[in-house]
Amino acid sequence: MPAVEQTVERVKEIDVDKYKYGFSTDIESVRAPKGLSEDIVRFISAKKGEPEWLLDWRLEAYRRWRTMQEPTWAKVHYPKIDFEDLYYYAAPKSTEGPKSLDEVDPELLRTYEKLGIPLKEQEVLAGVQGAPKVAVDAVFDSVSVVTTFKEELAKAGVIFCSISEAVKTHPELVKKYLGSVVPITDNFYATLNSAVFSDGSFVYVPEGVRCPMELSTYFRINAENTGQFERTLIIADKGAYVSYLEGCTAPMRDENQLHAAVVELVALEDAEIKYSTVQNWYPGDAEGKGGVYNFVTKRGDCRGDRSKISWTQVETGSAITWKYPSCILRGHGSRGEFYSIAISNGYQQVDSGTKMIHLGRDTSSRIISKGIAAGFSDNTYRGLVSAHRKATNARNFTCCDSLLIGDRCGAHTVPYIEAKNSSATFEHEATTSKISDDQLFYCLSRGLSEEEAVALIVNGFVRDVLQQLPMEFMAETQKLIGISLEGSVG
Amino acid sequence: MDLSVQQFRSEAEQALLDLYERSVDALPGDASVADLRQSAIRTYAGLGLPHRRIEAWKYTDLRAAIAEIPPLLAESDAPVDGTAFEAAFGKAFAQLPAYRVVLVAGAVRTELSDVQGLRDAGVEFGALAQMLESPPEWLMASLDAASASGDDVLIALNTALMTGGVALRLPEGLTLQKPVHLIHLDGADTPGSVYTRNVLVAGEGASATVLESFGTLGRAGVQRNAVTTVSLAAKSAIHHIKLQREALETIHLNAWVANVGADARYDAFQVSMGAALARNQVSVRFAGKDAATDISGATLARGKQHCDTTLVVEHDVPACESRELFKLVLDDESRGVFQGKIVVARDAQKTDGKQMSQALLLSETAEFDSKPELEIYADDVVCGHGATSGQIDEDLLFYLRARGLPEAQARALLIQAFVGEAFEALDDEAIGDAFAAVSAEWLGSPAE
């Protein structure tokens, strides 16, 4: 079939230059020696000037991790990771933490400029009038570089800083909530993260406060052979609201980079957290060489009654994605949402989904997952919806649709549904199909090129999820979808 | 973690190996069959009984559920008559017009069976135990194919220990007018194990309805392992139907494995209402284009019953169609499990696969676990699945009560309507009525 061959050729053509964030930055960095041992854990802890309790916590996690085995149940295949051949700590070299942006390495600032991330507050302000403000925490390799709009946030009482700063300034909050959603014993990668996490963002929104602007963290892996282990902790106190967005990119390297993050969300009574991710780690080249291993544990705890946690994710990058943002619906009347677009092309492998664990009364959850597989990729939705004995009137609606582009890719759906309560009402539906010839023909007859037509149809396919993204990222994401699928049709 | 090598053995797991050692010399079969048994028991020895860490058995932990391994049930000449059928399956089922074949401990009770009728109709029929002594090529091919499935412990144990069953071949072009009814009735005064294997082979263009029913004689619990392999040549059709109404102490393990040729049709229908623990596996593999399958059925469970239905449909070739519909009614502390997997291979374009599982939970403490899976490697496909779980719709109940129906009757009516949707797959009226009657009896409302 010539059409298929053509597709294969075109997929091959998507070379590295399609990944526009693939540059690397020459910045002197400080690294811990390669490999992992108790000494490295102590080194990281000391480097960050951490209190005793946190070091003990890390060491406990490290010892636990030594006894654990890598999980193999996900539908992803990769050569065994040599955990002794990684740098567990890398930081842009600077003597003290930068006092202001002027002290930050200009090379670093240029990196963020290239990425289109505004770190200078005035630039943001000078932007289009009335454009919403976004506070940014930029994490470069292992450390947080800069956090913008701190003062304005502080006025509202919102704490937004790097987690290592929070350990120093708000130890009581960190101690209380760190590991309370994802315990150190949770899983192989989360435990590893607990032992060696380097930095990440910390957000605390006090009682009754609606965070005045979008918060955002921008992650960048730069150094070679480095694992990035960031830890994000977001707490919305009673009646608070916060919307948080994270973005991720990495340079192109031949070897695989490991990213094992942990994100913990805590929503107390009547609080709401909206967490959006645009993940665009380097996916590897056309032969499937290189790329980021994205092994992430994200979990939200709707601890208070009537609280709400909403996950929105756009997954276009990474060689391998292993990620299940989950909600524990503990509070009565709490609500969890999961909206996901996962696009895989080339030799990418995605195994992603969510868990909705209904524990409280009258809890509800909604899962909308759209998977798009092209090229030689595999795209798996794996999800769990469970209702505990006491979760009366739990309600779930799940819809996961997959779209296949090309006949060398795979789309899989593995949902687990566990109802231990008769009053729980669960509905699940899933479909898999390809872009219909009729739709394509219609677009072509209207003068669109085939690639434009596919991008249009795919954007229509994922519309339900796109609408959940913060306004300013919607347009960008639409473009990203176009880029990710480039070359997938002949 | 490498789960293929077992770390330790539970008592029951060891007892199964001992059972094999004790029985192996008396098990039927020639040298080639003995080889199959030997390699199957090795497979089992490596894997042990499946437990919840084994993905396909996530919700049914056999290692935890089986504490003891009773000895193999011996052939018995215990009187089996009409009343035994009625007691085991209900009146409507016992009277169903069919070529009846009665199996006790895997042995064909010729005096109760219409073997002659089957042979007169042109069917090649034999008791498995006798045929294994010098198995014809077609039988050996079926046995080999079942063993090739590899890591299925249920089938491996069956291969190792099968003592009886039937082998049945429909020659090319034969259409059986009456269904074949394979009646498995077992039980004695002491607990026993029964391992049976049925082999169905349909020649090109042949068609038949094969009904299998499982019931209990006597009181003590039976551990049953029953496997049926079905091989369908091009343009053939088999409607394979099962009623499982075993006593509540029973452990019922059952696997149907079908290989479907081009333009052929394999329909399976199962109703499970008995046994303490039941595992029903149906796996269908399409080997030729334009074939189709419909797998449907119902689970009715109460008390502490555990019923697991696991379906796998493998679309290995293009242009095949599969439909699955299962309904579960779960009362008291019962637990219903539905796992359904549709696999579409790389070049199986134009595949059309649909799957639906629905559970109705009648009590606070019932549990439903479902895992509907799609694994798709071809792009020009239409595949979908759905799963729902809930209780009786209060609005519907209110409507019926407003029409003057007492609550209990209104409930029964709604449950019957819920289950009834799955029964629509039965096109044979007499069989449909028989199933309606047994399900109505389960619900406690008198059959009409």
Q: Dump pLDDT digits (tens) for A125-166.
A: 443 444 456 667 776 665 666 667 777 888 889 998 888 889
Domain boundary among B263, B288, B313: B288
Q: Which domain holds residue B433?
A: 392-448
Q: Are residues B69 and B198 in the same domain?
A: yes
Q: How many CA atoms lie within 13 A of A78 on its CB side?
A: 34
- Taking the Cβ of residue A420 and every Cβ of chain B, the question of whether any pair is shorter than 8 Å is answered with yes
**Residue B421 domain flag:** yes
Residue of A nearest to B331 (CA): A422
Q: Are B47 and B151 in contact (CB under 8 A)?
A: yes
Distance CA B130, CA B117 (A): 19
In this prediction, residue A146 carries a pLDDT of 64
Q: How far is A187 from chain B (nearest CA, A)?
A: 14
Distance CA B210, CA B232 (A): 13
Query: In this structure, which amino acid lies at residue A152?
Result: E
Average pLDDT over residues A366-371: 94
Residue of B nearest to A432 (CA): B383
CA separation, residue A48 to residues A86, A95, A148, A198, B130 (Å): 19, 12, 21, 8, 78
- Token pair 């299998």 is found at B212
Distance CA B138, CA B304 (A): 42
Q: Are A214 and A242 in contact (CB under 8 A)?
A: no
Q: How far is B60 from chain A (nearest CA, A)?
A: 13
Q: How far is B395 from chain A (nearest CA, A)?
A: 14
Domain boundary among B239, B263, B288: B288
Q: How far is A276 from chain B (nearest CA, A)?
A: 27
Query: In this structure, which amino acid lies at residue B98?
Result: A
**Residue B134 domain flag:** yes
Taking only Cα atoms into account, the Rg of chain B, rounded to an integer number of angstroms, comes to 21
Q: To probe the interface with B, which of A68, A417, A439 has the most B CB atoms within 10 Å?
A: A417
Whether A100 has a pLDDT exceeding 60, the answer reads: no
| Percent of chain A clearing pLDDT 70 (strictly above) | 78
Q: Dump pLDDT digits (tens) for A327-337.
A: 999 999 999 99
Question: What's chain A's average pLDDT?
Answer: 82
Q: Which of B382, B384, B391 sits opposite A429 (nearest CB)?
A: B384
Q: Dump pLDDT digits (tens) for B59-109.
A: 999 999 999 999 998 877 677 777 888 888 888 888 899 999 999 989 999
**Residue B116 domain flag:** yes
Q: How far is A88 from chain B (nearest CA, A)?
A: 25
In this prediction, residue A129 carries a pLDDT of 41
CA separation, residue A402 to residues A220, A336, A378, A396, B46 (Å): 29, 22, 11, 20, 37
* Phi, psi angle pair for A484, to nearest 5°: -60, -30
Contact A411 B374 (CB under 8 A): yes
Q: Which of B1, B370, B383 sits opposite A432 (nearest CB)?
A: B383
Q: How far is B131 from chain A (nearest CA, A)?
A: 42
Chain A residues with beta carbon closer than 8 angstroms to that of B389: 417, 419, 424-426
Residue of B nearest to A73 (CA): B55
Q: Which of A415, A422, A423 sits opposite B372 (nearest CB)?
A: A415
- Taking the Cβ of residue A365 and every Cβ of chain B, the question of whether any pair is shorter than 8 Å is answered with no
Min mean pLDDT across A50-59, A104-113, B404-413 is at A104-113
Q: Are B92 and B447 in contact (CB under 8 A)?
A: yes
Chain B residues with beta carbon closer than 8 angstroms to that of A425: 388-391
Domain boundary among B237, B263, B288: B288
Q: Are residues B284 and B411 in the same domain?
A: no
* Phi, psi angle pair for B233, to nearest 5°: -75, 175
Whether A23 has a pLDDT exceeding 80, the answer reads: no
Q: Are residues B32 and B151 in the same domain?
A: yes
Distance CA A362, CA A396 (A): 11
Q: Are residues B278 and B402 in the same domain?
A: no
Q: Are residues B38 and B179 in the same domain?
A: yes
Q: Which of B347, B359, B381 sits opposite A419 (nearest CB)?
A: B359
Q: Dump pLDDT digits (tens) for A39-62.
A: 989 988 988 889 999 999 999 999
In chain B, residues 9-68 whose CB comes closer than 8 Å to chain A = 55, 58
In chain B, residues 156-185 whose CB comes closer than 8 Å to chain A = none
Q: Which of A411, A427, A430 sits opposite B384 (nearest CB)?
A: A430
**Residue B122 domain flag:** yes
Residue of A nearest to B330 (CA): A422
**Residue B57 domain flag:** yes
**Residue B217 domain flag:** yes
Contact B376 A402 (CB under 8 A): yes
Average pLDDT over residues B345-352: 91
Instruction: Work out the number of other CB atoms within 10 angstroms of the CB of residue A94.
Output: 17
Contact A424 B389 (CB under 8 A): yes
Coil vs helix vs strand at B155: helix
Query: In this structure, which amino acid lies at residue B401?
Result: R
Average pLDDT over residues B391-402: 93
**Residue B330 domain flag:** no
| Angle (deg, nearest 10), helices A188-196 and A52-66 | 150
In chain B, residues 267-296 whose CB comes closer than 8 Å to chain A = none
Residue of B nearest to A413 (CA): B374
Whether A17 has a pLDDT exceeding 50, the answer reads: no
Q: Which of B363, B372, B374 sits opposite A422 (nearest CB)?
A: B363
Residue A3 pLDDT level (bands cut at 50, 70, 90): very low
Q: To probe the interface with A, which of B331, B376, B380, B396 has the most A CB atoms within 10 Å?
A: B376
- Taking the Cβ of residue B407 and every Cβ of chain A, the question of whether any pair is shorter than 8 Å is answered with no
Q: How far is B96 from chain A (nearest CA, A)?
A: 36
Residue A198 pLDDT level (bands cut at 50, 70, 90): confident
**Residue B325 domain flag:** no
Strands A326-329 and B292-301: unpaired
Contact B379 A424 (CB under 8 A): no
Count: domains in chain B: 2
Q: Are residues B404 and B266 in the same domain?
A: no
The whole-angstrom distance between residue B194's C-alpha and the CA centroid of its chain comes to: 15
Q: To probe the interface with B, which of A392, A422, A434 has the most B CB atoms within 10 Å?
A: A422
- Taking the Cβ of residue B396 and every Cβ of chain A, the question of whether any pair is shorter than 8 Å is answered with no
Distance CA B12, CA A60 (A): 38
Whether B324 has a pLDDT exceeding 60, the answer reads: yes
Coil vs helix vs strand at A274: strand
